[in-house]
A and B are shown apart, each in its own frame.
Chain A
């Protein structure tokens, strides 16, 4: 296999890893409701799994100070006062993994008050691991580049 052909194959493999659709089972969208307890400096539950297309309702209940919940990627948020609850409803139309985090300064560890929302499967994680495998393959296939 010539150097150029191998390089072309590598680029094509990279494109496949990046963009090939992963197999998904068609699931009818549902309404999903989560009650999330927010306290310094954690959410409970802190990991949410929904399917693409689900209508997600989050009831944020703050048990100590004012807390917020901002969802990365969706750019939506809600705030709850101490002892109160607030509701956020959205359609989970973007698949992938997203952090949600407190948006109201709530104490020292506020910047690290973080949860995780996964919509469908975390495709990007699998694609990233695929890229890592390609990097190792590229290293072996192109020793001239690797050893220059």
Chain B
């Protein structure tokens, strides 16, 4: 179903002002989160940066935005804005073709998501500190903003979003399951289109910020929904469509960086469920005390689970069935099956974390810096876990749906035509472990 047939929606997407208005609100919120992290109270549960970034924003991102809107967050994310405005030398004015800065192309060896994988893992290893310490959150948020600005000055388009952003990497992975897509309407129109303004830009708009040619796009993974191509297409050939869930994961992954992204996210959700939500204090101590011997052991185990144990067991599982297809190819294709289950692992993990801590939002709203303010009369709202009676059933539902979804995906991406039972067994065992960790 083509959503851009709705006149209101289409005009809202073509017009830059609605998006700019959201961008500005987000940018103000983002800068405030940085300031709150740096100058606000060091008590995380009373600081805007921790409560609004890691509880409110995270809840919206993983429970709503990614499952239902794919890269919808990227469409309004403020991180690339200052860099992009600098790069263009303008905020809204018509594009000027003369490059303002270096405008280099990102070297070919970096045109993949390995840097995103590494950046995500770097943050993941420090996540116990990052999630709980306001000034660390403030520094990381500021670093991401400055990294985006720096890369915009050196490279063309949104190099940070496309190749470095640790959040964008997993949003891209899971956006394949979302029921929203931006696609061309008629491929032939793109073939014959002169100048390809959707990619190269024109007098009415900029070329694709995400370095994607819409005419060749078959997956959501790298489309940031910036909507610039809707504005520049002279043939009205770009549409935003509503589609069935998981349409993209029917097409198997053919890249090792994307396959490992699936394992990184899959494994990180399981590790977090054990370390952060489990009853084992020793694990929490090890994860929190960065730089100690225990932390180095934690980091080594974390990386071993993600890069050796999970992919190794998966490889052993798929080796139990014979196929003419190369093992590496099968590994990449069948790893696509972990995408829906991984998303549901994160949903189940986040439900627990978010519902338990959501009541901090009210207090932080009234006293965002922890300075004793009471702006809305809710500064003294008591902490109280929410909806604990439905938490376990909701987590079970998410994981069981994820398991079924993954089984279905495995069947669809199984190009070799061999039995997918080993993948089902792998997913079932992983789901059972996740259930044990959460329930």
Stretch of A22-30, A39-47, A80-88 lying at the B interface: A39-47
Name the residue of chain B whose CB is nearest to the CB of A125. Answer: B439
> Would you call A132 and B284 a contact (CB within 8 A)?
no
B255 within 8 A of A: no
A1 within 8 A of B: no
Encode contact with A along B426-439: 1 for CB under 8 Å, 0 otherwise. Answer: 00100110011001
> Would you call B357 and A122 a contact (CB within 8 A)?
no
Encode contact with A along B396-423: 1 for CB under 8 Å, 0 otherwise. Answer: 1001110110011001100000000000
Interface residues in A65-121 (C-beta closer than 8 Å to B): 70, 72-73, 75, 96-97, 99, 101, 103, 105, 108-116
| Residues on the A chain within 8 Å of B388, using CB | 72-73, 75
Q: A73-B388, A128-B435 in contact; A105/B45 too (CB < 8 A)?
A: yes
Name the residue of chain B whose CB is nearest to the CB of A111. Answer: B357
> Would you call B439 and A122 a contact (CB within 8 A)?
yes
CA of A112 to CA of B277, assembled, Å: 6
A13 within 8 A of B: no
Main secondary structure on A side of the interface with B: mixed
> Would you call A42 and B46 a contact (CB within 8 A)?
no
B361 to chain A, nearest CB (A): 13
Q: How many residues of B contact A (CB 8 A)?
A: 45
Encode contact with B along A124-138: 1 for CB under 8 Å, 0 otherwise. Answer: 110111011111101
Stretch of B127-135, B153-161, B164-172, B372-380 lying at the A interface: B127-135
B279 in complex: contacting residue of A47, A124, A129, A146, CB < 8 Å: A47
Encode contact with A along B40-70: 1 for CB under 8 Å, 0 otherwise. Answer: 0001111000000000000000000000000
> Would you call A135 and B389 a contact (CB within 8 A)?
no
| Residues on the B chain within 8 Å of A70, using CB | 385
Name the residue of chain A whose CB is nearest to the CB of B276. Answer: A112
> Would you call A147 and B400 a contact (CB within 8 A)?
no
> Would you call B280 and A135 a contact (CB within 8 A)?
no
A49 to chain B, nearest CB (A): 12
B140 within 8 A of A: no
Encode contact with B along A10-48: 1 for CB under 8 Å, 0 otherwise. Answer: 000000000000000000000000000000011110110
| Interface residues in chain A, defined as those with a beta carbon under 8 Å from any beta carbon in chain B | 41-44, 46-47, 70, 72-73, 75, 96-97, 99, 101, 103, 105, 108-116, 122, 124-125, 127-129, 131-136, 138-139, 146-147
Q: A75-B388, A136-B403 are in contact. List 9 more A-B contacts (CB 8 A).
A: A43-B281, A72-B388, A99-B279, A110-B132, A111-B44, A132-B400, A135-B401, A135-B407, A147-B408
